[in-house]
Structure 1
């Protein structure tokens, strides 16, 4: 399933269901076939997304270096799993953040499924 986010102020943003639902949960919206982020809600949504991005990036960079072979092996396994998620939240959310910022500045809502 695809989510198509629309605004009268900017181009549509289309996302696959898993990415869109993750972003909607971060901004406090219930994923579903239809919805709205009002112009008044958009600044808080942008702030929530940027805070989550910063937290994830800080968490990824704050891991200490392994001190023994067992820890190194465990870290290598975690790194391999992390490589499967090659597109970061920052990259996935950037078009949506821009849509929210432009729409909010113009006083327009962002809708999906309408």
Structure 2
């Protein structure tokens, strides 16, 4: 599945299924084909994303510490980090909050 998040306050944001599912879980929602984030819920959504990013970065830092303690070097992170992947949604959420507009998908 592909998610297409839309808001009158920002351009569309498209995410592949697994990334969109992870995003929705980070903001406290179950993955669904259709949905809405109301302006009143945006602050909590941003906080959820920030927590998910912090948890991901903390896990990576812990893995690097463990590797260093064992005298080995952890392989460089591959792909796009969660911070990079989720930043466009944080920006969309902030713009939608400023404009008091919802974000929808699947409609």
- TM value normalised by structure 1: 0.82
Say whether residues 1:35 and 2:35 are aligned partners: yes
CA distance in 1, matches of 2:16, 2:86: 12
CA distance in 2, matches of 1:58, 1:3: 27
CA distance in 1, matches of 2:70, 2:3: 44
Q: More strand by proportion, 1 or 2? A: 2
Aligned to 1:61: 61
Stretches of structure 1 that go unaligned for 5 or more consecutive residues are: none
Deviation for aligned residue 1:61: 1.5
Deviation for aligned residue 1:29: 1.2
SS state at 2:40 partner: coil
CA distance in 1, matches of 2:33, 2:40: 22
Superposed structure 1 runs of 4+ greater than 6 Å apart: none
Larger of the two Rg values belongs to structure: 1
SS state at 2:58 partner: helix
CA distance in 1, matches of 2:90, 2:18: 17
CA distance in 2, matches of 1:37, 1:50: 17
Q: How many residues in Structure 1 have an aligned counterpart in Structure 2?
A: 104
Q: 1:7-30 CA deviation, whole Å, 9 max, x = no partner? A: 011100001111001000110112
Aligned to 1:44: 44
Deviation for aligned residue 1:66: 3.6
